[in-house]
Amino acid sequence: MAFVAAVAKRSGNVRGIKRPSTPYLLLIPGIAWLFMFFIYPLINLASTSTQTPAASGEVGAYVQTFRFANYIDAFSGARDQFLRSIVYALIATLLALAISYPLAYAIAFKSGKWKNLLLVLVVAPFFTSFLLRTVAWKQILGNEGPVVAVLKFLHILGPQSGLTASAFAVVTGMTYNFLPFMTLPLYASLERIDPRTLEASSDLYANGITTFRKVTFPLSLPGVVAGTLLTFIPAAGDYINATLLGNPRTKMIGNVIEARFFDIVDYPTAAALSFMLMAAILIMVMVYVRRAGTEELV
Amino acid sequence: MPTNNPLSPETRAIIRAQMTRRGVLAGAGGLGVAGLLAACGTKSASTGAKGASVTDISATDKIARWANWTLYLDYDSKSKTYPTLEAFKKSSGINVTYAEDVDDNNTFYGKVAGQLKLGKDIGYDIVTLTDWMAGRWIRLGYTQTLDAAAIPNKKNILTVLENVSFDPGRNNSLTWQTGFAGFGWNKSLLPKGVHTLDDLFAPANKGRIEVLSEMRDTMGIIMQYQGVDISKTFTEAQFMNAIDFLQKKISDGFIRQVKGNSYKEDLISGDAIAVIGWSGDLFQLATENKGKFEFAIPESGGTLWSDNLMIPSTSPHKANAEAVINNYYDPKVAAQVAAYVNYVCPVQGAQAEMEKIDPTLANSPYIFPDAAALAKVKVFASLTPAEETKYQTAFQKATGN
């Protein structure tokens, strides 16, 4: 023991003091980045969320009073929008999964030489702005657009009704906008499935449905978990779709935070709502990942 | 009008606005907000940058940076320049950077408030903001006093705008443009027009009505319909009465959306057929669409608002900015701008100059309103900061936020 200690001491002295601290030095930029852009803003956000209006009463002037009741007030003021965000995001996630799974499956197993082209097509919408894509849906679903014309012709829609400025349009927009986030992880996990496991399944007299249920789907589960998370999290906080495709009765929590921050200049409530959204999503994700039983995400 | 663009300027405006907002809020996940809050600092108790002194380097640094709203300065789509600005640059040697960076009073304030408070240059030497927001800047000491000697053309301001409650004597601001809020509608679908709030909320228009997200304009029109004089102090009950009215129209599905300039696109697409909107917008729409749209001041009364030029407290180019402002108070230049933007021109003598450019515009009640039009509109009374917060909260809640 004494020898080891002596060697350690010697190497510390002789080889230079720098050596043990090198990894820490290398970590500094990363930690500084994390601190500046994550920890510090988070602390600031937390600190803002418990402030109350200053005595001067000036718009946007707040003092720290550690009023935790801000959270209760913020939540009770925006309960509907909170619930709506979660419901809309859930529906959009399920729809995206229903559309993406067959798509990813087809690309992974059935596309042959078209595989790369199809993958590019899935990613292609990313090359245009999120906003432009949403505005485009306003036109697709608009009163003068093709969808409404067809539905009216089929008498599914009445002559006076339309599709935009509705919950339907908001969920459609979200499903579309976050679809690639679902398709790509699904594709990645499906593509990695060893075809021999599928062959083995059929060798054991499993039909297509059983093979899918017992082999393909369980093996693609990491992709499903990753895809649903990558879709649900941004969808729950999204407010662009609700702004452009919704109406005043379909506002989401993101809209409330925006209005609180910019229009009312109520920083504490905006901060409290942001924190609650973050916490709610974190808890839901943790429960979900536990239940899904996957440790690795893709 | 820059109409040969694939996207209308309004679309570009909302897209840009939303993109910056998106960047700011980062999907409302909280981090973006946090960043901004960080910029505001935790010591939010101290407000105002009173006493902050900035050295004027105008003489050596011949630039002026101007933030304005979209479609708010004469623009030549062929040369892609602003003719009056180009002329000014040539004659003065001051290089003016003009940016259509203001898309909403609140959003713009949210973006620069942190720097203003800390006394850091916000990147603009002239900002153009609406009365109530201009009042907030002046109250907080975020503006510089205008040097009357440097702006001799100041004397040309319309008498009605000479003295305003938020800036007595116009020491810190000068009007850029003025306009009305009232009803706009699609003439081919509503040949009878919209002249009262009952016309607007007619059952046939259900779900195709849009109102302005600018609280004072929408609420001002509803309150006047309910018989309240919005130019004088009113009670909270009177305001909340109007909120109830708005809330009812929203929950019954009459109102499609509550928004800013982008109601224009919905009128064009047919998604909206009647709106509470701004005179200049509808005048432009009518010109571009061969009279398909029309504007009217409500019979019960419309609102009159102004956007004001101000020099931020953080600007190191005050003298240059004053030269720019002085230039636009020259009736000749003002008439050129008015011929393009179609809002109410605040400069005396511009009407005579307009006769030379376009006699029809010179007689337009939208640009040079007569006494009859002015009698039908009111300026929304100034609110105390406490009222401002209370009313804005009620308005945002009613509109779904």
pLDDT of residue B41: 40
Of A8, A36, A67, which residue sits at a domain end?
Answer: A67
Residue A32 inside a domain? The answer is: yes
Q: Which residues of B touch A237 (CB under 8 A)?
A: 27-29
Please identify among residues 235-254 of chain B the ones whose CB lies closer than 8 Å to any CB of chain A.
250-251, 253
What CATH number corresponds to the domain at position A196?
A: 1.10.3720.10
CB atoms within 10 A of CB B206: 15
Of A9, A41, A67, which residue sits at a domain end?
Answer: A67
Residue A8 inside a domain? The answer is: no
Q: Which CATH architecture has domain B9-33+52-178+306-367?
A: 3-Layer(aba) Sandwich (3.40)
My answer on whether A140 and A273 are in the same domain is yes
Q: Tokens 């636009």 identify what position?
A: B328
pLDDT of residue A294: 60
Residue A6 inside a domain? The answer is: no
My answer on whether A284 and A204 are in the same domain is yes
Q: Give per-residue pLDDT as tens, B19-36.
A: 443 333 333 333 333 344
My answer on whether A193 and A288 are in the same domain is yes
Q: Give per-residue pLDDT as tens, B274-316.
A: 999 999 889 888 888 888 999 999 999 999 999 999 999 999 9
B33 touches chain A (CB under 8 A): yes
Question: Do B172 and B146 form a contact (C-beta atoms < 8 A)?
Answer: yes
* Complex confidence, ipTM: 0.84
Question: Do A231 and A92 form a contact (C-beta atoms < 8 A)?
Answer: yes
Rounded to 5°, angle at Cα A233 from A230 and A234: 90
My answer on whether A128 and A190 are in the same domain is yes
My answer on whether A52 and A163 are in the same domain is no
**For residues B20 and B101, what is the distance between their CA atoms, to the nearest angstrom?**
10
My answer on whether A58 and A95 are in the same domain is no
Q: Which CATH architecture has domain B179-304+380-398?
A: 3-Layer(aba) Sandwich (3.40)
Residue A5 inside a domain? The answer is: no
My answer on whether A33 and A81 are in the same domain is no
Domain total of chain A: 2
Q: Does the beta-carbon distance from B389 to A59 stay under 8 Å? A: yes
CB atoms within 10 A of CB B374: 15
Residue B328: closest CA among B159, B92, B60, B78: B92
Q: Does the beta-carbon distance from A250 to B400 stay under 8 Å? A: yes
My answer on whether A267 and A128 are in the same domain is yes
My answer on whether A128 and A37 are in the same domain is no
pLDDT of residue A19: 65
Question: Do B210 and B255 form a contact (C-beta atoms < 8 A)?
Answer: yes
Q: Tokens for B393, please give them.
A: 């909260």
For A137, B196, B238, B373, the CA distances from B182, given in Å and listed in that order, are: 30, 10, 20, 12
- Collapse the DSSP code of A230 into the 3-class scheme (helix H, G, I; strand E, B; otherwise coil) and give the result: helix
Candidate from A45, A77, A165 with C-beta closest to B34? A45
Which regions of chain B carry the CATH code 3.40.190.10?
Answer: 9-33+52-178+306-367, 179-304+380-398
Q: Which domain holds residue A141?
A: 72-292
My answer on whether A97 and A173 are in the same domain is yes
**For residues B250 and B398, what is the distance between their CA atoms, to the nearest angstrom?**
8
DSSP collapsed to 3 states, B24-80: HHHHHCCHHHHHHHHHHCCCCCCCCCCCCCCCCCCCCCCEEEEECCCCCCCCECCCC
Residue B16's pLDDT band (boundaries 50, 70, 90)? very low
Contacts (Cβ under 8 Å, ≥6 apart) of A10: none
Name the minimum distance, in Å, from the CA of B260 to any CA of chain A. Answer: 12
For A135, B2, B215, B338, B355, the CA distances from B359, given in Å and listed in that order, are: 39, 22, 35, 13, 4
* pTM for this prediction: 0.83
Tell me how far the alpha carbon of residue A191 is from its chain's centroid. Answer: 23
Q: Does the beta-carbon distance from A45 to B107 stay under 8 Å? A: no
Is the pLDDT reported for residue A257 higher than 60? Answer: yes
- Collapse the DSSP code of B377 into the 3-class scheme (helix H, G, I; strand E, B; otherwise coil) and give the result: strand
Q: Give per-residue pLDDT as tens, B103-152.
A: 889 889 999 999 999 999 999 999 999 999 999 999 999 999 999 999 99
Q: Does the beta-carbon distance from B28 to A37 stay under 8 Å? A: no
Residue A14 inside a domain? The answer is: no
Please identify among residues 46-85 of chain B the ones whose CB lies closer than 8 Å to any CB of chain A.
47-48
Residue A200 inside a domain? The answer is: yes
My answer on whether A125 and A184 are in the same domain is yes
My answer on whether A160 and A137 are in the same domain is yes
- Comparing alpha-carbon positions, the chain A residue that sits nearest to B252 is A249
Residue A3 inside a domain? The answer is: no
B384 touches chain A (CB under 8 A): yes
Candidate from B29, B42, B392 with C-beta closest to A44? B42
| Mean local confidence (pLDDT), B250-261 | 93
Size of interface A-B (CB pairs under 8 A): 179
Question: Do B195 and B235 form a contact (C-beta atoms < 8 A)?
Answer: no
Half-sphere CA count of B345, side-chain side, radius 13 A = 33
Residue A277 inside a domain? The answer is: yes
